[in-house]
Structure 1
Amino acid sequence: MTREEGVKQQNPAIVKDITLDDLMPGDVTVQVKYTTINYKDALAITGKSPILRTYPMIPGIDLAGEVVSSQSDKFKPGDKVLLNGFGVGETHMGAFSGMARLKSEWLIPQPEGLSGWQAMAIGTAGYTAMLCVMALERAGLTPSDGPILVTGANGGVGSVAISVLSKLGFHVIASTGRASEEPYLKRLGAKEIIDRNELSLPGRPLGKERWAGAVDSVGSFTLANVLSQTRYGGSVACCGLAQGMDLPGSVAPFILRGVTLHGIDSVMAPIERRIEAYRRLVSDLDKDLLTEVATEIGFDDIIGKAEELLAGKVRGRLVVTMS
């Protein structure tokens, strides 16, 4: 199969032994201690979406590990490091290899006060959630402005966003399709639970003003309805497309209510912003809740759990312990 055919077909994953010689170029080699299965990883593993940009490819967009060799003056053997995104697992072989050869400019030091396991319980989803919170703060939102809605509440982004926003004093409304998860969401700090069906179907250009802001990881009709029901001068941070990439809405919330939509990119975000996001997570996330948010699995569980994640059967985060 040619590279182009492989990328186009997006075949389901297979497990295969490789050596260090099979890894891609980079100036730092890291032994992966922990990684995760993100939504993007699950799409790549199952072959259900054209995530991979080259073929063959090893998924795994997150990792926490230890430097084993370095040609960079930024890191030395023994340093603990984190990686989220930068095309790793899409265009550059990712964390599921167990050993990863990477560019030093993609790595950040593992923050003090955060273990490797905790960092992966947060992972790209939680780090993205923190970027969303920071965007809402930059827009000037405070707890006194009113409730904040979190869509996709049971997912990794939603779970961390609820926990952080709640600790910061916001009244959090959680939107979920799983009513049975209400106790879990309330333990994270949600004050109200609404059914996602309230938002997932075509709606009016402007609806009743219900929240001052939102963190949305769903997109499509859900995001359009979130915007239409945001209060005057409110802000919405958008970071996902679980329902779809389209935005079938109206300009009415923007030009009649002055609502602001913030696009959140976690893949190529500058290193300084990543470091700040993790610093904030150390201080503003109740790390005791990570045992509620994350489930630990082994390498052999990756393919099966990827299927479950896409089927909506996974709560929160999946942390993969590598050996």
Structure 2
Amino acid sequence: MLCVLALEEHGVTPENGPILVTGASGGVGSTAVAILCEIRFEVTASTGRLDETDYLKDLGASSVIDRGELGEENPRPLQKTLWAGVVDAVGSHTLANAIAQTNANGCVAACGLAQGPGLPTSVMPFILRGVTLAGVNSVHVPFARRKMAWDRMATDLDANKLEQMTEVVGLNDAIGVAEKILQGQIRGRVVWT
């Protein structure tokens, strides 16, 4: 929700065009897809797990692309513009390519580094297109902003979609589930009971 707030605060609206969500089958990505679609954005979901295409479309994504389209190094700092905004949970080359493909005056909300912490890009998208890179963290968030995010989630995250993206497991299953997490075989969120 904090990434969605960042996009909205930087003037991104459904009328501006589609939103890219990277790491879309993970917890942050799934939540972003569901919320953005609920508030009428057109969403393209990028994932390394194309077997989750039906899941992502059920959350509302209008299209699903393979992460390979964004995950490789591209020497061009400006690429064809495709996105009004981006929610990036991946970082590295994926983030650099997403920035290079963002429309003029668009916003990229970066909140993850699954691919790595580097950002191999230049200042060109920022100064030639006016792209904003908004760093989003969920740790050092003031109470008022946290409350705003929770209030918005209560209205903008469909309860059925939340249930669809959540797996509840017991502590006895912790080791097996942890192995699946490390192998990238979990979608959405895992809640331990």
Shift of 1:291: 1.9
- The CA RMSD measured in Å over matched residues stands at 0.7
Measured against aligned partners, the alpha-carbon deviations of 1:247-293 in whole angstroms (never above 9, x if no partner) come to 01111110111100000011111111111111000000001112210
1:114 aligned residue: none
2:94 aligned residue: 222
1:315 aligns to 2:183 (yes or no): no
2:7 aligned residue: 136
- Structure 2: which amino acid aligns with 1:202? E
Distance in 2 separating the partners of 1:143 and 1:200 = 26
Distance in 1 separating the partners of 2:31 and 2:3 = 11
- Structure 1: which amino acid aligns with 2:173? D
- Structure 2: which amino acid aligns with 1:216? D
TM-score normalised to structure 2 length: 0.98
- Higher helix fraction: Structure 1 or Structure 2? 2
What does residue range 1-323 of structure 1 map to in structure 2 within 5 Å? 130-203=1-74, 204-321=76-193
- Structure 1: which amino acid aligns with 2:181? L
TM-score normalised to structure 1 length: 0.59
Shift of 1:320: 1.0
Counting matched residue pairs gives: 192
Distance in 2 separating the partners of 1:278 and 1:302 = 27
- Structure 2: which amino acid aligns with 1:144? E
Measured against aligned partners, the alpha-carbon deviations of 1:100-145 in whole angstroms (never above 9, x if no partner) come to xxxxxxxxxxxxxxxxxxxxxxxxxxxxxx0000010000111000
Q: Any stretches of 5+ residues in structure 2 without a counterpart?
A: none
Q: Which has the larger radius of gyration?
A: 1
Measured against aligned partners, the alpha-carbon deviations of 1:35-74 in whole angstroms (never above 9, x if no partner) come to xxxxxxxxxxxxxxxxxxxxxxxxxxxxxxxxxxxxxxxx
Distance in 1 separating the partners of 2:168 and 2:137 = 26
Shift of 1:303: 2.6
Measured against aligned partners, the alpha-carbon deviations of 1:147-170 in whole angstroms (never above 9, x if no partner) come to 000000000000000000001000
Shift of 1:214: 0.4
The higher-RCO structure (CA 8 Å, 6+ apart) is 2
- Structure 2: which amino acid aligns with 1:297? V
Measured against aligned partners, the alpha-carbon deviations of 1:219-257 in whole angstroms (never above 9, x if no partner) come to 000000000000111000000000000001111110111
- Structure 1: which amino acid aligns with 2:21? V
Percent of matched pairs sharing the same residue: 57
Distance in 2 separating the partners of 1:267 and 1:302 = 24
Secondary structure of 1:243's match? coil
Distance in 2 separating the partners of 1:161 and 1:313 = 19
Shift of 1:304: 2.3
Secondary structure of 1:249's match? coil
> Which 4+ residue blocks in structure 1 deviate beyond 6 angstroms?
none
Secondary structure of 1:206's match? coil
